[in-house]
Amino acid sequence: MKITLIGSGNVAWHLGQVLQQAGHEIAAVYSPTAAHREELAEALAPAEAVNSLDLRATDVELVVIAVPDAAIASVAETIQVPKNAIIVHTSGSQPLAALQGITGARAGVFYPLQTFSKSKSVDFNAIHILIEAEDERTLQILQAVASTISKEVHHVDSLKRKQLHLAAVFACNFTNHLLGISRQLLQQAALPDTLLQPLIQETIAKVMQSHPFQVQTGPAVRHDQNVIDEHLILLQDQPLYQQVYQLLTQSIQDHSPKR
């Protein structure tokens, strides 16, 4: 597949490299910032760094838009591609309709379900790729491309992808924040940051095997009001954390009423 990448962020870097390694040709890289497109094009040599979204004179087959969510619509309205090229965006939270502004091309979604950091390489074979397209033929092509880099390819429509994104916010973004609060509490108590790491890893290992609601532990599920009260006192100078503690305790107890 002859591919042009739009964007130079973490998704563009990782996806570009893994697609190239899988034998696809990364023909060009576009970014409005010259230094960014040149750096990524060099990493993906012999890819060309281009400064125009008019790709009509090229023979690109697949355009991958890997830009911030808010920029997708404006790229879609500006970009021009050869007839029959496929244009996909890579966002978990945006519907297929975010590409409705494109003309003369087939639209799709190619969403690698992972959080990327430029400095950390990832194993795409372990990454689920969620695809969607406006017609069956395009879907088949995206399925074929995704299969060259991952064993886990799923056809998921826009509504389900939004529901998945919501689930990911709970499982990853909110979880990360709670781990941050926990780290802050350790620091306030002058305890080492690393103290809870084995416990956190065991917690995650457990939920890979069981439904989390079935292995819930702690004072909330035990309805241990003495401990809960003592914790709330420890949090009295941090009212927002106190509210978080109370609401999550309530939500846990809602699932496990006192016997």
- Map the footprint of a second copy across residues 4-63, applying CB under 8 A: none
Within 129-188, the residues that bind a second copy by CB under 8 A are 154, 156, 160, 162-186, 188
Binding a second copy by CB under 8 A: which of 202, 237, 257, 258?
202
Long-range contacts of 74-82 (CB under 8 A, 24+ apart): 75/6, 76/100, 76/101, 76/102, 77/101, 77/102, 78/53, 79/6, 79/53, 79/54, 79/55, 80/53, 80/54, 80/55, 80/56, 80/104, 81/55, 81/56, 81/105, 82/55, 82/56, 82/58
Identify which of residues 1 and 234 has a Cβ nearer to a second copy in the complex: 234
Nearer to a second copy, 35 or 227 (CB): 227
| Sheet bearing 86-89, strands edge to edge | 48-50, 25-30, 2-6, 62-65, 86-89, 106-112, 129-133, 153-155
The residues near 7 (Cβ < 8 Å, ≥ 6 apart) are 30, 31, 64, 65, 66, 67
> Within 80-119, which residues bind a second copy (CB under 8 A)?
93, 113-115, 117
Residue from 2, 36, 128, 223 binding a second copy (CB under 8 A): 128
Per-residue binding letters, 60-79, with a second copy (x by CB under 8 A): ---------xx---------
Closer by beta carbon to a second copy, 1 or else 252: 252
Contact 161, 92 (CB under 8 A): yes
Least distance from a second copy to the Cβ atom of residue 150, Å: 10
Q: Which is nearer to a second copy, 46 or 198 (CB)?
A: 198
d(CA 137, CA 218): 51
- In the region spanning residues 209 to 248, those forming contacts with a second copy, defined by CB under 8 A, are 211-213, 215-221, 224, 227, 230-231, 234-235, 240-241, 243-245, 247-248
Kindly state the smallest distance separating residue 25's Cβ from a second copy, in Å. 27
Asked if residue 195 binds a second copy (CB under 8 A), the reply is yes
